[in-house]
Amino acid sequence: MVGYFAYDYLKYGKPKLKLTNKGDFNDLDSMLFKETVVFDHYRQKIVLIANVNPAELDESLEVAKKKLKNLRNVLAGKERFEFEKLELKSSLETEFSLQEMTRLR
């Protein structure tokens, strides 16, 4: 699981502080990925992580090993990654107009 707890999340543990969220960030956000590439800045290393299903451990472990090997090869430039085609379920809406966006540069 990858995510963050915003500073304002503290309001749930310390209600006396009466913190109010004035930004556009959620108090917390978390995501679960099948595979994850982590860069450890301290050790200057890349760590590859794949999830396994304990109910089907042997089979799931073999699938995870293959995925990690493929991911390693993609990162090393030995293989090309093919993205799965996705369909949008709603229309895209921008937060900024073209004029506002060009001003932000």
C-beta separation of 9 from 27 below 8 A: yes
Average confidence (pLDDT) over 54-80: 94
Average confidence (pLDDT) over 42-68: 95
Question: For residue 80, what pLDDT is reported?
Answer: 87
High-pLDDT (> 70) share of the chain, %: 89
- State whether the Cα torsion 94-99-100-104 is positive or negative: positive
* Residue whose token pair is 């990925």: 33
DSSP state letters, 7-44: GGGGGGT-GGG-----SS--SEEEE--SEEEEEETTTT
Average confidence (pLDDT) over 5-23: 71
Model pLDDT for residues 83-98, shown as the tens digit of each residue: 888 888 998 888 888 8
Reply yes or no on whether the pLDDT at 104 is more than 70. Answer: no
Question: For residue 50, what pLDDT is reported?
Answer: 95
